[in-house]
Amino acid sequence: MTAVPTSPFPASTVLGYPRIGPRRELKRALEAYWQGRLGVEGLREAGARLREGTWLRLAELGLAALPSNTFSLYDHVLDAAMMVDAVPGRYRRPLPEDTCFAMARGGEGAAPLRMTKWFDTNYHYLVPQVGPGTRFRAVPGKPVGEVREARALGLSTRPVLLGPVTFLLLCQAEPGAAEGFRPLERLDDLLAVYEQVLGALAAEGVAWVQLDEPALVADRSPGELAAVGEAYRRLGGLRGRPGLLVAGYFGELGAALPVLAGTPVEAIGLDLVRGGGDLAAACALPELAGKTVVAGVVGGRDVWRTDQERALAGLLALRARAGRVVVSTSCSLLHLPYDVDAEDGLPAGLRERLAFAEQKVAEVVELAGRLAAVPVDAPVPGVPVLAAGAGVPDAGRGAAGPWPASGRAPYEVRAAAQAARLRLPALPVTTIGSFPQTGELRAARAAFSAGELGAGEYEERVRGEIRRVVELQERLGLDVLVHGEPERNDMVQYFAEHLEGFAVTRHGWVQSYGSRCVRPPILYGEVRRRGPVTVGWTRYAQSLTDRPVKGMLTGPVTIAAWSFVRDDVPLPRVVGQIAEAVREEVADLEAAGVAIVQVDEPALRELMPLRAAGRAEYLAWAVGAYRRATSGAGERTQIHTHLCYSEASEIVEAIDALDADVTSVESARSQGRLPAEPGVAGFGRGLGPGVYDIHSPRVPGVAEVAGGIEAVLRVLPVERVWVNPDCGLKTRTYEQVEAALANMVAAARLVRERLL
Ligand code: MET
Ligand SMILES: [Zn+2]
């Protein structure tokens, strides 16, 4: 085994890299494997090619230290669970790949693990389950294998592992665990396994290992901070281990910084883009003199070029005080597209302002060169003030609210007016908006944007799809219909394409979860609506049926959250501009006779500051923007909203304050916990907790759905309960959707009968 410390940390690195492939090769391989068109060897080969491509490219760009184990077939949190064998028995399969996919997607009677957002990003991870009896075991094959793979290419790498504290904080207690059990109680046992993994990596000759601890940038209790100290004293005390880099990102380490600095870890990674305050704090720490700081000065979550002078000033300040300074990205580049140079259709003047993953790496390399060029005995500037991320205000404390009136008529007045207009049965059944996007539809859209299909012909295809969706919903007996969103490639991109101020990319795919990718638009200018966006499609759908058709819009917070937003003006102002555009669209829908308008805000929870201190202020402007978008609607117009994977119970008051008439929320995949959550019973408006998990191909049975509805009825009065899936249906097949919706309608009817 190698001695500690091994060798100095090289001058430049990135904390992680995109893994889906520049042309979404991983997506294609995964889908082929799931459909049985590709064997496991082919899938492994596809993964190996992607890793090889990444390492060779990073080396070619001149990066000094390359990360490994940042590739994942599905999700890196799932990989961490598999590395410590936290795999519930029901998911175990002969092949590790199949075990992974069983946890991620469910199968053979086992529902998948819960999925939720990775901190305040739009990436989703799977929530591992740990109980008092989970038998951790070291399964280091994946990180070890990647080290060997890279070595075969002549490259040494730094394996990246999810840190043990963050891992346990992200886990949920295994169902059936005693009330009050917290996975963090298992830290000791888990550390024993991490020691073995570190030992296995040291035996491979690995010089450095990166342990990611993003959970440390959120508020942590004294007990949790003590656990951090304990974990890294113990891992740091391990003999013959590799050098340890502990990376906190997505914000300030704050109180966790001195705790980490007091342990034997050799290197600490700071996010100096979103956690600018850590710079001065680090510079004031005496322990820093003995540590390497991996300084995240190049933003890993924005697409803008780095202000090199500012970054360099920060690097110089650190270099004067730390044992060593390494130039890095603020976090993994997972959240960025690969390459600006792959884009040809960007508006003039924008390209020069942009940096995707490749360009960010080049910036890191350039900054490392500039830092090295400044003599160490040059005068040291003062510690510069690096602002917290643009538009992430951190003032304001305490709970948001009480909320002033939204400007609409009181809920009761609206509810009566809407009931008289809509005449819906008890427990109305509806969907969240999108229906399956067939291959033909996607092909038609591709042909249309390539200019191979005329606008008239494309429009006819979309109308055909709308007819099919409306007919299907009538046949299945849904009460409130949707047009199915066939004209939308994506709920944010579609609006970005129709509003001024946005640019869209051709190849700018970013992983959302598993094989799912999105292309976040780039919001670079003043946002304005050119004219009606959705009115024509909704009006057409309504012309086909006597049942109400919901107009379907994306809310201002979500449009901003799922775009790369300009950082030269405050975020609330940008969101306010989007709200005006949505407000105009709501007015046009209303004028067209549309009785129900849904304004989705699935990202409301996601943009919430990770630390409590900023939340009240955030919620105040975010709720304000939603109200601005919707409060022009008259009392006879029913406003719906939809939130998914939002841990809705945490922000029930803010959701109530949106003042929507009906709110649909994710619930099925969180194992139906929602109705039981405190606050839900006090929710004062219509609520549709999802009773069908659309992120899994599994079709729920009638009794299961009926049970879900009845659970909701135990806490909410029947007049306010809606029946709907968790989210839109666009990722499912028509076969699955028909069966599931038929069961949903049957379940609603069953419960209605029982109520009589
Ligand atoms: C991620 S939320 C999706 C809402 C959208 N209306 C849909 O059904 O697809
Ligand atoms: Zn949703």
How many whole angstroms from 666 Cα to the centroid of ligand 2?
7
Residues above pLDDT 70, as percent of the chain: 95
- Which one is predicted more confidently, 153 or 7? 153
**Per the domain annotation, does 698 fall within a domain?**
yes
Q: Tell whether 446 and 340 lie within a shared domain.
A: no
Catalytic residue positions, numbered = 695
Last residue of a domain, one of 327, 352, 373: 373
Q: Grade residue 668 by pLDDT with cuts at 50, 70 and 90.
A: low
Q: Tell whether 219 and 297 lie within a shared domain.
A: yes
Taking the CA of 433 as reference, the closest ligand is 1
Q: Tell whether 343 and 470 lie within a shared domain.
A: no
Q: Tell whether 50 and 186 lie within a shared domain.
A: yes
**Per the domain annotation, does 387 fall within a domain?**
no
Q: Tell whether 615 and 740 lie within a shared domain.
A: yes
Q: Tell whether 369 and 415 lie within a shared domain.
A: no
The torsion of the CA quartet 104, 109, 114, 115, rounded to 10 degrees, works out to 40
Q: Whose CA is nearest to atom 3 of ligand 1?
A: 728
pLDDT in tens, 551-585: 999 999 999 999 999 999 999 999 999 999 999 99
**Per the domain annotation, does 460 fall within a domain?**
yes
Average pLDDT, the chain: 93
pLDDT at 572: 97
Q: Tell whether 447 and 549 lie within a shared domain.
A: yes
How many whole angstroms from 343 Cα to the centroid of ligand 2?
29
- Pocket of ligand 1 from Cβ distances under 6 Å: 432-434, 485, 491, 552, 600, 602, 642, 644, 727-728, 730
pLDDT at 398: 41
Query: Residue 9: which residues within 8 A CB-CB, separation 6 or more?
Result: 65, 208, 243, 245, 266, 267, 292, 294, 324, 326
Residue 440 burial (CB count, 10 A): 11
**Per the domain annotation, does 290 fall within a domain?**
yes
ipTM: 0.99
Binding site for L-methionine: which residues? 432-434, 485, 600
Number of structural domains the chain divides into: 2
Residue 420 burial (CB count, 10 A): 9
pLDDT at 414: 97
CA dist list (Å): 252 to 224, 295, 401 = 16, 12, 26
**Per the domain annotation, does 257 fall within a domain?**
yes
Q: Tell whether 243 and 322 lie within a shared domain.
A: yes
pLDDT exceeds cutoff 80 at 393: no
**Per the domain annotation, does 31 fall within a domain?**
yes
pLDDT exceeds cutoff 80 at 389: no
**Per the domain annotation, does 382 fall within a domain?**
no
Sheet containing strand 596-600, strands side by side: 550-554, 596-600, 638-643, 662-665, 686-689
How many whole angstroms from 712 Cα to the centroid of ligand 2?
19
How many whole angstroms from 491 Cα to the centroid of ligand 1?
7
Q: Grade residue 244 by pLDDT with cuts at 50, 70 and 90.
A: very high
Binding site: which residues? 27, 122, 432-434, 485, 516-517, 562, 600, 642, 644, 666, 727
pLDDT in tens, 603-637: 998 899 999 999 999 999 999 999 999 999 999 99
Q: Tell whether 76 and 138 lie within a shared domain.
A: yes
**Which residue range forms the structural domain that includes residue 642?**
411-487+528-755
Question: Amino acid identity of 694?
Answer: I
- Which one is predicted more confidently, 647 or 436? 436
Last residue of a domain, one of 344, 373, 402: 373
pLDDT in tens, 394-446: 433 345 566 778 889 999 999 999 999 999 999 999 999 999 999 999 999 99
Residues above pLDDT 90, as percent of the chain: 86
Whether the upstream peptide bond of residue 402 has omega within 30° of 0, thus cis, is: yes
Q: Tell whether 187 and 277 lie within a shared domain.
A: yes
pLDDT at 62: 98
pLDDT in tens, 104-134: 999 887 889 998 899 999 999 999 999 999 9
DSSP for 668-687 reads GGGTT-GGGSTTTTT--SEE
- The CATH number of the domain holding residue 83 is 3.20.20.210
**Per the domain annotation, does 503 fall within a domain?**
no
| For residues 324-332, average pLDDT | 98
Q: Whose CA is nearest to atom 7 of ligand 1?
A: 728
Q: ∠ CA 221-138-45 to the nearest 5 degrees?
A: 110
Q: Tell whether 338 and 430 lie within a shared domain.
A: no
pLDDT in tens, 126-183: 999 999 999 999 999 999 999 999 999 999 999 999 999 999 999 999 999 999 999 9
The answer, as to whether pTM is greater than 0.90, is yes
pLDDT at 221: 98
pLDDT in tens, 456-515: 999 999 999 999 999 999 999 999 999 999 999 999 999 999 999 999 999 999 999 999
pLDDT exceeds cutoff 80 at 66: yes
Cα distance between residue 202 and residue 639, in whole Å: 58
Q: Tell whether 470 and 601 lie within a shared domain.
A: yes
